[in-house]
Amino acid sequence: MLLTRGSDRREWWRISLTALGAFAATGFALLAVALGSLRGWVHFPYWHGLLNGEGERRGLVTALLLLLIPVLGFLGQCARIGAVHRDRRLAALRLAGAGPRQVRRIATLESGLACLAGSLLALAAICVAVLLLGRVPGPIAWAGFAAVVVLIPVLAAAVSRFALRHVVASPLGHVRRVRPQRGPGALLGLFAPAALVIAGAALLALRGLQSGATAFPLFVFAAVVLTGAGSVWVAGAAAKVIGRRLADRTGNPTALIAAERLRDDPWAAARTHAALLLVTVVGVGFVGVREILVAGMDRQQREGTLGDRGFYTAGINLAGGAVLIALVISLAGLAVGTAESLSTRRRTLAAQAAAGVPHRVLARTMLLETALPLAPALVLAGIGGTAVYVAYGRFVGEGIPLTLPLLVPFAVYAACLAAAATSLPLLRRSLHPSELRVA
């Protein structure tokens, strides 16, 4: 409580972002509980009756729970940027006798308090919305609401604790990050996911509908998860290789500074881009599946065998909205991660500016640090998403779209650079000579 009350304006921005992330996570979980508590057929005059049936509601509950993944990643980014901004107060705690683990525990609990505030606001908003709809939740729903409001801050605090495991505040006011020397192994990170995805896609391509309706969902799940893990590994490995090769061969100041940064901490890109790459795999697969479904509905409509088309398009659009929300949350996490990186290096950046490095060079360097490791990772993510919708098209016997789904990685790449560019105003403030002071 004392640490929170002593926060400055920069701190309150971080606390507000943490509370906003908890608000979103709690809102998704509360909606899932509210829909999951309903039994049987219930009339909802929305989305062409998409929520009337229990089976459709279960699908929406699953989508809402999956949205918690990028939100928790966003909260982890907020926890890391908070640890750096609180360097002087963390150092005071160390001088008073607190150990590194105690300091991290206090910082974690501070994030938990902000998450609790966001969760309570989400509970109030959901209760008002449910009552305005004229539907009073039952005892099971209220018990679920109470459990969510308690569990989300606890889960967010656990994520913050995990995110701060390599952060150490010294008694002299210097905050450093103890970086892991190695990332995940190549066999686990890249070759095993690629082999499994290719084998599954070949099996479905050869057997078609004979592979069964059970094998296909398992393949989709494996393709998304394993390709996402491989993309994260590629981001870290590419940063390491590109940083080493580029630092030895380039004479361009922008590329040289970016290469040294990537070589110094190659797995920072993997941590920052993890949720974003997973969303990209899902996004490419969804856009391809959507094109296949729309083509199938057009054919059925011409044949006169399609019922209420609005019911199906509402479900597709709702799933697309969930993917888009996950992408926006992941981009917000990328922006926060870029800001955290700048805050960590603010004294180094100020020293470079004082030595004569122009602001435009440092700005291009920051964008290059995001662009270089992200490009090969997005290529692998696009391959994984393509495998998903190609396998689905083979499974249902429809044509395979090639244009629109393949544009998704390029759109995500441009959005990532735009998200990283939102930290440029912070970069200008970080170059002020006052940042050269010794805490």
325-362 residue pLDDT tens: 888 888 888 888 888 778 777 778 888 888 888 888 88
Average pLDDT for 135-164:
81
Same domain, 85 and 233: no
pLDDT at 378 over 60: yes
177 beta partners: 167
What range defines the domain where residue 250 resides? 186-436
Same domain, 346 and 418: yes
What is the Cα–Cα distance from 323 to 286, expressed in whole angstroms? 8
From 177, 200, 219, the end of a domain falls on: 177
Q: Where is average pLDDT lowest: 143-152, 175-184, 403-412, 427-436?
A: 175-184
The pLDDT, as a whole number, for residue 418 is 92
Confidence of residue 414 (pLDDT cuts 50, 70, 90): very high
Average pLDDT for 377-391:
84
The count of domains in the chain is: 2
Same domain, 352 and 399: yes
Q: Which residue has the higher pLDDT, 270 or 322?
A: 322
The pLDDT, as a whole number, for residue 415 is 93
Question: pTM of the entire structure?
Answer: 0.76
Confidence of residue 217 (pLDDT cuts 50, 70, 90): low
pLDDT at 181 over 60: no
Are 228 and 190 a contacting pair, CB within 8 Å?
no
Percent of residues, the chain, with pLDDT higher than 70: 75
Same domain, 296 and 400: yes
Q: Residue 305 has which token pair?
A: 């065998």
Mean pLDDT, rounded, of the chain: 76
Average pLDDT for 230-246:
80
From 120, 146, 177, the end of a domain falls on: 177
**Distance between terminal CA atoms of the chain?**
24
Same domain, 101 and 71: yes
The pLDDT, as a whole number, for residue 244 is 83
Same domain, 266 and 326: yes
The pLDDT, as a whole number, for residue 166 is 57
Confidence of residue 312 (pLDDT cuts 50, 70, 90): confident
Q: Which residue has the higher pLDDT, 111 or 382?
A: 382
- Which stretches within 208-266 are classed as H helix? 215-249, 253-264
Same domain, 157 and 199: no
What sign for the dihedral angle of Cα 81, 85, 88, 93?
Answer: negative
The pLDDT, as a whole number, for residue 411 is 92
Same domain, 16 and 92: yes
Confidence of residue 170 (pLDDT cuts 50, 70, 90): low
From 131, 151, 177, the end of a domain falls on: 177
Q: Where is average pLDDT lowest: 48-52, 99-103, 213-217, 413-417?
A: 213-217
Average pLDDT for 359-376:
87
Same domain, 166 and 210: no
Same domain, 430 and 380: yes
Give me the DSSP letters along 396-407: HT-----HHHHH
Q: Where is average pLDDT lowest: 138-147, 183-192, 194-203, 269-278?
A: 183-192
Q: Which residue has the higher pLDDT, 115 or 173?
A: 115
The pLDDT, as a whole number, for residue 48 is 63
pLDDT at 256 over 60: yes
Same domain, 150 and 211: no
Q: Which residue has the higher pLDDT, 250 or 165?
A: 250
What is the Cα–Cα distance from 340 to 105, expressed in whole angstroms? 20
Confidence of residue 177 (pLDDT cuts 50, 70, 90): very low
Q: Quick check: helix, strand or coil at residue 120?
A: helix
Same domain, 218 and 323: yes
Number of neighbouring beta carbons within 10 Å of residue 418: 13
The pLDDT, as a whole number, for residue 174 is 47
- Residue of 63, 97, 104 whose CA lies nearest to 83: 104
Confidence of residue 186 (pLDDT cuts 50, 70, 90): very low
Average pLDDT for 112-124:
89
Q: Quick check: helix, strand or coil at residue 169?
A: strand
Interval 55-106: pLDDT, tens:
777 777 877 887 887 887 787 777 766 555 565 666 677 777 777 777 777 7
* Residue corresponding to tokens 């800001």: 339
- Kindly report each contact of residues 14-20 with a partner whose C-beta sits within 8 Å and lies 24 or more positions away, as own/partner: 14/78, 14/81, 14/82, 14/85, 15/82, 15/114, 17/74, 17/78, 17/336, 18/75, 18/78, 18/79, 18/82, 18/111, 18/114, 18/115, 18/118, 18/156, 19/114, 19/115, 19/117, 19/118, 19/121, 20/118
